[in-house]
Amino acid sequence: MNIRAYLCQEAARRTEESLASIRSLEDWDRERPARRAVFLDRLGLAAHLEAPRTPLNATIAGELRRDGYRVEQLHFESLPGLYVTANLYVPEPLAAPAPAVAYFCGHAQRQKFHYQAHPRQWCRLGFVALVVDTVQFGEVRGEHWGAYGGRRFDWISRGYTPAGVECWNGIRALDLLCGRPEVDAARIGITGTSGGGGMSWWLGAADGRAAVVAPSCGTGTLRSHLRERTLDGHCDCMVPLSIDGWDLADVGALIAPRPLLIASSDGDHLFSAASIRETAGKLERLYGLLGARERFRLFSYPGPHGYSPASRKTIFAWFLKHLAGRAVEPGALEDIDPSRDEPDEALRVFSGPRPHGERVADADDWFVPRARAEAPAGAEALQTRREEVARRLRALSFARFPAEAPPPEVELRQRIDSSTAAGLRWSFASEPGWRLDARMAWGLDLAAPRGVILALPGPGDELPGEDQWKTHDLLRGAWARWATCIVETRGVGMWGWPADLHGHVRRGLAVLGHTVASLRVYDTLRALAALRTLEGVHPERIALAASGEMVPVALCAALLDGRVCAAILAEPPPTLDTAAWPGGNAQALELLHALRITDLPELAALLWPCELVFAGARPAAYEWTEEAYRRLGPPGIIRRVTTLDDWRTAPDDLPRARS
């Protein structure tokens, strides 16, 4: 199998499984609370929702008076320093609190200026309308294009998605509307197109105060995004990280049974018509189970990505019916008139520099808090922390691993003999469709059962140059005492992929609940299981060796396996919190949500009493690891060597594995 086939296969499986477990109203009543909690956690919202709401500090910076309505230029802080700019359109005169619409901008550079005709029309129909800028293109700008831009794959390890911060801004926008005397808080709807369509899905699922939801041009399936590579054209806010195998229908289900209109064009280059219909079909079935079929509608129309006159009128009519309880009056849904647009400056909120103390620009650094490791006080405390980290990594970073792995199906291919050494070529099954090769060698004077160093080459490590192979060089000094085994995991050697596909693979895996590193961790766990079945191998005397981007793989595999006796680390990255080079071709270190749990120096410390060997330069970050080992004392040992020629440890010198 190749990686593109794997991505398409996994995406198709996620789409097919979407809502498949919901066969009755009782199923939905049972699953819905847990599903909503999972959704909020994956967006990074759980901690913010559990904490007391901070003051909005809503400020009206200016006001326009027009015939039949007024426009307030305002800003608020969804969290201290997290500024959101918006325009509030209020019909005048207004005899009683009115229904309201929160309108979320798409990826238009001019944001609330670009979409201003929509809130004007809402006002004309008797709605209060709040048009909200995004972080990406608002007046106080942050960043949406991390992994999408090929530069911030560390967002994946952080568990950060701009969909999360935008959804939080939307929740606080609803807080603002609910506090306005002009608004009937029980009748608030949300809508937007493109990026605003995505926001309508996320906020509608997250906040039940959205009584009516109408996403425009933001509907598709994972199957389509991977098979047709429409994922490559989507901002990170449109495809949040999902470790749970969720497709968009799973998110939309959290809106049911509130009125939901999906408006999408059938010629959209970012969302295929078939994927729109498939998502709508799943939700229509759910609404039927809930006895609310009349509250769901798909409106498909010809044309490219974006609104059409018919789609706008359909959305307006949907809100009139379900939010205002009114029939459409003749002439009430005239198309939008751009001749009434205000100049950009008239709607701007801030006239000077960015507000002092703003925290929008670096929201990706703090919105999802990172774990802070504490040095273990003793072996018992370390064991408790190790179990907690392993449990949470399995639940978040490695949630897609099978609950029970099938047998590795080892196949012995060829025995190789020389006057001084012997070798074995063999293979094993990792996942269905992936059979990985292994090469093992040992000196004839090594008595069985032999200790084995399982080495994990990285991309390019096994390319020969003047007869020097990087992984062989790393192992050379240990050959007299250890058997060695080399396994190429996915993305390495014959299982690699072209550099120009690397960014697509990394993003594609992340939206499917994997990463390149997590696939390699699974391959390594499978290799360890397979290795222990081989004749002549001591199952409790297996060490792992890795360099560069394979070090996180070795550390995680050793932690989850629990039986590795030593870890040999060359050129270890200091942290998972490392941005990529443009294009996404740097080291693929990312592990979903891992930085919410731990980081590499703590992962290394949690292997105690496994012997740690730093071969060559050791980043300063691992001073923390060495200090933890010093506190814990024997039998755990850390060694720093120039090469493995300086590592004189034999397998029988090492302590028993902790299991």
551, two tokens: 């070090």
Spatial separation of the C-alpha atoms in residues 180 and 89, rounded to whole Å: 12
Cα(245)–Cα(239) distance, rounded to whole angstroms? 12
C-beta separation of 200 from 104 below 8 A: yes
Q: Which of 217-231, 323-337, 520-534 has the lowest mean pLDDT?
A: 323-337
When mean pLDDT is compared across 162-176, 379-393, 631-645, the lowest value belongs to: 631-645
Q: In the prediction, which pLDDT does 658 show?
A: 58
Q: Hey, where are the domains in the chain? A: 3-366, 379-653
Instruction: Judge whether residue 208 has pLDDT over 50.
Output: yes
The encoded tokens of residue 592 equal: 């979903």
Token pair, residue 520, equals 């390699």
Strands lying side by side in the sheet with 611-615 = 411-417, 421-429, 435-443, 483-487, 450-456, 537-547, 566-570, 611-615, 638-641
**Mean per-residue pLDDT over the chain, rounded:** 92
Quick one: which H or E segment has residue 401?
A: none
Cα 195 to chain centroid, rounded: 17
pLDDT single digits (tens) 481-527: 999 999 999 999 889 899 889 999 999 999 999 999 999 999 999 99
What's the rounded mean pLDDT across residues 343-351? 94
Question: Cα–Cα distance between 134 and 170 in angstroms, integer?
Answer: 10
Instruction: For residue range 606-658, list pLDDT tens digits in order.
Output: 999 999 999 999 999 999 999 999 999 999 999 999 888 888 888 888 876 55
Model confidence over 102-160: pLDDT tens digits?
Answer: 999 999 889 999 999 999 999 999 999 999 999 999 999 998 998 888 889 999 999 99
Long-range contacts of the stretch 290-295 (C-beta < 8 A, 24+): 290/25, 290/28, 290/256, 290/257, 291/25, 291/257, 292/256, 292/257, 295/257, 295/258, 295/259, 295/260, 295/322
Given 3-state DSSP classes, what are the helix, strand and coil percentages for the chain, each rounded to the nearest 5?
Answer: 35, 20, 40
Q: What mean pLDDT is predicted for residues 473-485?
A: 87
Q: Quick one: pLDDT at residue 353? A: 83
Distance between start and end Cα atoms, the chain: 35
Per CATH, the number for 379-653 is 3.40.50.1820
Return the HEC string of 285-305.
Answer: HHHHHCCCHHHEEEEEECCCC
Amino acid at the residue 472: H
Element (H, E) at 535: none
The CATH classification number of 3-366 equals 3.40.50.1820
User: What is the pLDDT at residue 241?
Assistant: 76
The pTM assigned to this predicted structure is 0.94
Q: Evaluate whether 3-366 and 379-653 have a shared fold.
A: yes
pLDDT, position 601: 97
String of DSSP letters for 207-244: -TTEEEEEEES----HHHHHHS-GGGGS-GGGS---SS
The C-alpha angle with vertex 133 and arms to 92 and 189, in degrees rounded to 5, equals: 55
- Tell me: the pLDDT tens digits for 14-62? 999 999 999 999 999 999 999 999 999 999 999 999 999 999 999 999 9
Q: Does residue 468 have a pLDDT over 50?
A: no
